[in-house]
Amino acid sequence: MLRRLKTGARGQWPGASHKGTGVRGQGPARVASAAGTVFLLATCAHAAIFPDQIGDFAKSSPKALSVADQALYNEYGLVAAEQAEYSKADQHFTATAWHMRDSTGAFAGFEALRPPGAVQNSPAQLAARTSDGMILAFGNYVFQFTGNVPKQDDLEELYNQVPELEQAALPALPGFLPREKMIPNSERYILGPVSLQRFEPRIAPSVAAFHLSAEGQLATYQSPKGPMTLVVFAYPTPNIARERYQEFQNLPGAVAKRTGPLVGVILQPPDLDAAERVLGGLRYEAKLTLNEKVPQDESKGFAKLILNIFAVSGVLVGLSILLGIAFGGFRAVLKKMGFVRQDEEEMTVLHLGK
């Protein structure tokens, strides 16, 4: 069996108990041990993530998987994590999967797990080559392969087999960040106080106001005097963003900008001019898709209608003629064969004119 770790609800610490349940006063090691036991018992009810075979590679040698930052992954919505070895002949690879609650959590996990030296084809593709393999996100899963990376067809087959796959749209916030001077792989998605503390501890959670459904995207930029960190928070409405903008401006050394429902802030930048240029590239553009009927020339439509009427009329007239000929011929054949009596041939006349 594969050993798997399961988390609690988003934003909760694993192993946290309700008031009066008895972890108070226990040492950190005992609490961590109890939390790990709860995780292992809870994951038994979940189906395995990896199949017995990926392409020509067979699964073997399962390994225990530990999550380095449990609180962060709880906030990202980690459901389970699994690792397995696959091999064929003299080739092998190690596959690791993180099953998240939704695609936003998987996107955040992908950015957090992606190493600094990874090479990503494009920002739109959540796949990056690493020094020893590849890391990618698909739906609500994050996968990491080290060694002989499976082929694309084998990956597609894997995607079709993983349990509870969800493919909701990815967050739009990262697309608003300026790309110029951005340090590659420095992006981090912020979903709550834990990720904010990990990646930008100078901003208090109360200022970000996650209770207002805020989410953030962080990136680091180069400047002539050193790197600086931009954090962009997205809020449900521009009015909320306007209120939070005032709070961000009160932070020491903050340079902030609001555009639509977005608020961007750089704390204590080494180069104020460079910070202004980076914030100048932050623009909110609302995208509205409206499906409209293509306008057509009504006179052409009316003419086409008349032609269709004549065509249908011609077809009906032709059918009437054919049916009349067929009926007359059928009657003539019956008469010749003696199946029609003389009295049946006479036409009934009403003499209405008399």
Phi-psi region at 145: left, alpha or beta (left = phi > 0; alpha = psi -120 to 50): beta
No. of helices (H) and no. of strands (E), the chain: 10, 13
Region of 123 please: left (phi>0), alpha (psi -120 to 50) or beta: alpha
| Domain coverage including residue 246 | 173-280
Contact 158, 188 (CB under 8 A): no
CA distance 213 to 260: 16
Q: Which residues of the chain have pLDDT under 70?
A: 1-47, 61-64, 123-124, 287-299, 340-349, 353-354
Please indicate, yes or no, if residue 4 is contained in any of the structural domains: no
pTM of the model: 0.69
Determine contact, residues 265/251, Cβ cutoff 8 Å: yes
According to the model, what pLDDT value does residue 8 have? 40
Give 87-114 pLDDT, tens digit per residue. 998 899 999 999 999 999 999 999 999 9
Q: Please count the structural domains in the chain.
A: 3
- My answer on whether 180 and 101 are in the same domain is no
Rg (CA), the chain: 35
Last residue of a domain, one of 159, 190, 224: 159
Residue-level pLDDT at 298: 67
- Does residue 22 sit within a domain? no
**pLDDT value at residue 79:** 92
Domain final position from 253, 280, 307: 280
Chosen domain end from 133, 159, 185: 159
Cβ contacts of 263 within 8 Å, gap of 6 or more: 232, 233, 235, 241, 244, 245, 248, 256, 257
Same-domain status, 49 and 153:
yes
Q: In the numeric block, which tokens belong to residue 159? A: 């995607």
